[in-house]
A and B are shown apart, each in its own frame.
Chain A
Amino acid sequence: DVKVTQSSRYLVKRTGEKVFLECVQDMDHENMFWYRQDPGLGLRLIYFSYDVKMKEKGDIPEGYSVSREKKERFSLILESASTNQTSMYLCASSFGTASGNTIYFGEGSWLTVV
């Protein structure tokens, strides 16, 4: 089974803190994604990476950065957390470049910024 693991399930951080969300996948997938899930807004793409050290902005990249130093690991970084970044963050991975390859999600990281 494909496994996408988000190591931190629940975090509470203070405004202005630097926050790291880590994600690891075990299927040798080229592509990895970070989505943010908010009620009434669905899932919105923050960043994605199609190879090691390669990244592209998604629809809502402001306030976030990412790092992919190894193929299996994709980190989301909040440089200076703000209360409007309180949300559920979902990491995902997929194989290849074609439309239609299944995207597999982790179980999510609930972040509260106070």
Chain B
Amino acid sequence: QQQVKQSPQSLIVQKGGISIINCAYENTAFDYFPWYQQFPGKGPALLIAIRPDVSEKKEGRFTISFNKSAKQFSLHIMDSQPGDSATYFCAASTGGYNKLIFGAGTRLAVHP
């Protein structure tokens, strides 16, 4: 049973465009929502994270939008660059040693 649903599976964006990846969750006890970025041959690395008491968090070109009532959150990559081409995972956790539940992943390709 997948507690965090992520879409789309893959995404192609032109350089300079906006990449949007969406996630939905069911467990209202989740209190931490990170996004991880994974390049080929590497392990995932934390990109940006949000808690449910805020609706948006921005770090450079990366923004998380959070909708608590809809139980959805999304990653927006502004001015997408070829170097952003990677697989992105959303995740969620609730206390207990920060065990993360991951979405299925989105493979992003940014074309020059």
Contacts and interface: CB of A to CB of B under 8 A. Distances in A.
Contact of B42 (A40, A41, A44, A107): A107
B98 A42 contact: no
B104 interface: yes
B93 A42 contact: no
B43 A90 contact: yes
Contact of A106 (B6, B43, B94, B101): B43
Nearest to B9: A40
B104 A45 contact: no
A99 B95 contact: yes
B104 A42 contact: yes
B72 to A, nearest CB: 17
Interface string B71-93: 00000000000000000010001
Nearest to B51: A100
On chain B, which size bracket covers the interface?
A: 20 to 34
A74 interface: no
Given A31-B97, A97-B96, A97-B97, A42 B43 contact: no
Contact of A43 (B42, B45, B49, B102): B102
Interface in B3-50: 6, 9, 31-32, 34, 36, 41-46, 49
Contact of A41 (B45, B49, B104): B104
B99 A45 contact: yes
Contacts of B103: 42
A42 B97 CA distance: 20
Contact of B31 (A58, A92, A99): A99
Interface of B: 6, 9, 31-32, 34, 36, 41-46, 49, 51, 89, 93-105
Interface of A: 4, 31, 33, 35, 39-45, 48, 50, 58, 90, 92, 94, 96-108
